[in-house]
Amino acid sequence: MTDAEYGTQTGGTVEAPLVVPVAYQGGKSRLAAQIVDHWWPYDGLFYDLCCGSGAITIEMLNRGASVDDVVMVDAGPWGRFWRDIGLGVFDFGVFMSYIEAIPKNPRLIHDFMRELSMQPASRDTTEVFIILQAATFGGKALWIANDKWCNNTFRSYWEPTATSSRRSHVNPMMPMSETLARRVQTVMQRMHGVEAHWDDAATIEIEPGSLAYIDPPYLGTTAYGHTLDAPALFGRVGLSSICYLSEGRKVGDEGILLHVGRAKGGISGDRKVTINQEWLSVKRPA
């Protein structure tokens, strides 16, 4: 959803729709509507396992699902972000102090982010995470180990040369700081109260008769700093609840090949572009 689409009319007032704060490698922003279509409408308890940026939950909430009927789980920094949002302890003032310190000159942002990532990860963890994630090169997922930010390579401001196939510049943050702040503020307002766990999805007890969606790191791709036996979790949850699993391959007997995939290619457009397969597998109680 673009910023131009911000705002929907509800009972005479304009309510900003929820937007994923930061799109990242492995996130489901582009596929969320297509995925949710496969089980919508749904008004029961929904578990968003390995929720990451929250794209699936956000799609559900924008369609009318209640925050009270959603459980979000993630073992990485996203899990802590959503936990803090749900509990109302995300410190917007601290977050904005970092936002305001970001250089106005986009050419200086790369070095700012690199320096920011060197401070202990335990310092303002959640507020710093969402900013660093917006600036990571290729949208690679960040994680924490030994009080350090890991996988932290950052974008530089890029302008086309005379020989570049791409003709427009590339910003060092996606989104840039003002848009990020606006999205985070909306998330704080509309997702306060959501039940979110900063934990391993395999340890969460799923209420029988619920609906669950799992979006793990895909087999053979870069991990997120933790591991998960997704097929095992998929099989176990599917014994008592309807369970959907996103993967780069079909898992089990029932699966849907989604028609929209993420492409890999270079900024200059010189590398061959290939589309990754996206499968949505389904397991239902017998």
Predicted local confidence at residue 178, as pLDDT? 97
Q: Is 2 exposed, middle or buried (0-12, 13-18, 19+ CB in 10 A)?
A: exposed
Task: Report how many domains make up the chain.
Answer: 1
pLDDT at 274: 54
At residue 193, φ and ψ (nearest 5 deg) are: 105, -10
pLDDT in tens, 164-223: 776 677 799 999 999 999 999 999 999 999 999 999 999 999 999 999 999 998 765 555
Low-confidence residues of the chain: pLDDT under 70: 1-14, 162, 166-167, 219-226, 259-275
> How far is the C-alpha of 223 from the C-alpha of 242, rounded, in Å?
26
Pairing of strands 148-150, 263-264: unpaired
Alpha carbons within 13 A on the beta-carbon side of 74? 27
pTM over 0.75: yes
- Cβ within 8 Å of residue 36, ≥6 positions away: 56, 59, 60, 63
What pLDDT is attached to residue 118? Answer: 98
Q: Please report the pLDDT score of residue 267 as a whole number.
A: 40
Domain ranges, residue 206:
3-216+224-283
- DSSP 3-state of 195: strand
Which residue, among 88, 43, 48, has the nearest Cα to 66 in the 3D structure? Answer: 43
Determine the pLDDT at residue 24. 86
274-275 and 263-264: which strand pairing?
Answer: antiparallel
* CA dist 282 → 191, 216, 231, 255, 279 (Å): 27, 15, 11, 6, 10
The DSSP bridge partners found for residue 239 are none
